Amino acid sequence: MTVVPAGGRAPGRAARRAYGVIVMATTTRARRATIRPCAQPTVFVLFGATGDLARRMVLPAFMTLALERLLPDDWVLIGNGRGDLTHEDFRDHVREALDKFGPHPDKRAWRDFERRLLFAGHGFDKHDPGRLLDVIGEARERVGDDAQLVHYLAVPPVTFAGITEALGAHGLAEGARVVYEKPFGTSPASFRTLNRTVRSVLDEEQVYRIDHFLGKEATQNLHVLRFANELFGAAWHRDHIESVQIDVPETLGITDRAAFYDATGAVLDMLVTHLFQVAAEVTMEPPASLGATDLQAAREKVIRSFRPLDPAEVVLGQFTGYRDEPGVAARSRTDTFVAARLWIDNPRWRGVPFLLRTGKRLAVSEERVSLVLRTPHGPFGELPGQANVISFSLSGSGEIDVRLLAKKPGVELYVEPADARLPLAQLPDAAPLPPYVRLIHDILLGDRSLFTRPDGLSAVWKVAQPLLDNRPRPQPYPQGSWGPPQARRLAAPRKWLVGQ
């Protein structure tokens, strides 16, 4: 295996072929088989179509699917909102979003895309459907009455229940697929209420609770590397792993999401959603298959072994200047940073600390999972800690890094750390898809493998309950720093790997 020093040049094609012997490509044959166009005509209703999430993620993902020819021949996307936009106004809005966030279609691709965009204004609730029923009728005249109906709720969580009830009241729920953004609820009580509402209107097979971290190429590679490679799978145990770090610092602030973020914060926006789900991907037992039922069951089973958080092992922070952001309350105590120590009470992971960290306005942007192996005892005497690490960059197309100790060439026997790096996008014939593209494609195909289940979410809320009941006061931290200094003690006697 080629050893690449940190910051070194990526391996060439021959080296990448060699890497392929050691680790499987991101997509197994079972998953690769799903990378195909959706054949069934589809009417896609996007609630919150003019909001920030739709602009940054959902609309660009849909354009990418169109450019990759992964949409059916017959489809229509209907934007929904309280405003009274014309179809042409909405098309201009979508074009502006693509100009800013990409992708950038040529004129021919855009003309084909924009003619499929419609807008249904005047809101939507159980008492008044606004223009949505009429516009869905117009869409079905274009693509056929048998079109699959997909509702995507890119709206604040407090509106989920009302829209769900309205779908049932206006006959738009039967046979439809309904996508809920995270967080699914904002507290244990609101989760239970929302779940009851959803179950009263929809069957579980219709529900897609999206967490885009599960759609990342490298997140999927967490279990591929482990279950397809005995070299790594044999070490995936408390006997060999000292600690695990899941670290997602961000340089970004809250942009124009102040209303959402000030009511949510880092704990709800990131910890009980993305970071807990990634922890489950790392720690699940081998599933019986890669099918949706078995993957979901393995993920949810290990979440039930997560020990409830101890507030004494959690540090919250708020970056200086946060309260000056437009739309943020003058005395807001919303957390923009969270670091936590999580424990898993099962035979495989008992006693292994999981260090989770994320925050806004930090020193760098990174998305990394690091498994720190135990320091061996042998003829070399005392060796440095955290020198044997398997880590995954979840950013972009993903990357797998292995840090090990090697002899430094020369007469003397000096042991030095060295990094072996596998950029996943450079694997032969790699065809990575951004996470929202991957997940929306799976929704169109009806594949629920990478979506969460209510039993797992119920367990997540139980894990978070002690923290939500007894939240530490957020500590101030300078923008561009690594958060409150109190977070360092969570990693003691070691240190956080990202940024050190």
CB 170 within 8 A of CB 129: yes
Q: How many residues does the chain have?
A: 500
Query: CA 168: distance to chain centroid?
Result: 29
Measured distance CA(5)–CA(218) in Å, rounded: 21
Annotated binding residue at 250? yes
Annotated binding residue at 48? yes
Annotated binding residue at 281? no
Measured distance CA(394)–CA(221) in Å, rounded: 10
CB 405 within 8 A of CB 417: yes
CB 491 within 8 A of CB 370: no
Annotated binding residue at 205? no
What is the phi-psi region of residue 296: left when phi exceeds 0, alpha when psi lies from -120 to 50, beta otherwise?
alpha
Strands (E) located in 313-468: 314-319, 337-342, 354-359, 368-373, 389-393, 399-408, 414-423
CA pseudo-torsion sign 249, 183, 491, 298: negative
Annotated binding residue at 49? yes
Annotated binding residue at 52? yes
Annotated binding residue at 258? no
- Position 174: which residue type? E
Annotated binding residue at 301? no
Cα distances (angstroms) measured from residue 113 to each of 93, 105, 359 = 13, 9, 37
Q: 274 an active-site residue?
A: yes
Terminal C-alpha separation, the chain: 26
Annotated binding residue at 446? no
Helices 276-283 & 292-303, crossing angle to 10 degrees?
110
Closest by CA to 439, choosing from 248, 203, 220, is 220
Annotated binding residue at 469? no
Residue recorded with tokens 């081998």: 286
Measured distance CA(243)–CA(283) in Å, rounded: 12
Annotated binding residue at 495? no
* Residue 159: DSSP 8-state: G
Q: Tokens standing for 108?
A: 């021919």
Continuous segment of H or E residues that includes residue 134:
helix 132-143
Annotated binding residue at 174? no
Return the number of other C-beta atoms located less than 10 Å from residue 84's C-beta: 12
Closest by CA to 285, choosing from 274, 301, 305, is 301
CB 28 within 8 A of CB 290: yes
Annotated binding residue at 51? yes
Annotated binding residue at 55? yes
- Position 32: which residue type? R
- Position 79: which residue type? G
Cα distances (angstroms) measured from residue 436 to each of 65, 187, 196, 264, 337 = 10, 25, 27, 21, 24
Measured distance CA(23)–CA(44) in Å, rounded: 37
Annotated binding residue at 360? yes
- Annotated catalytic residue within 240, 274, 377, 441: 274
Strands (E) located in 165-313: 177-180, 207-209, 241-249
User: Which residue positions form the known binding site for substrate?
Assistant: 212, 216, 250, 269, 360
User: Which residue positions form the known binding site?
Assistant: 48-55, 82, 182, 212, 216, 250, 269, 360
Show which residues are catalytic. 274
User: Which residue positions form the known binding site for NADP(+)?
Assistant: 48-55, 82, 182
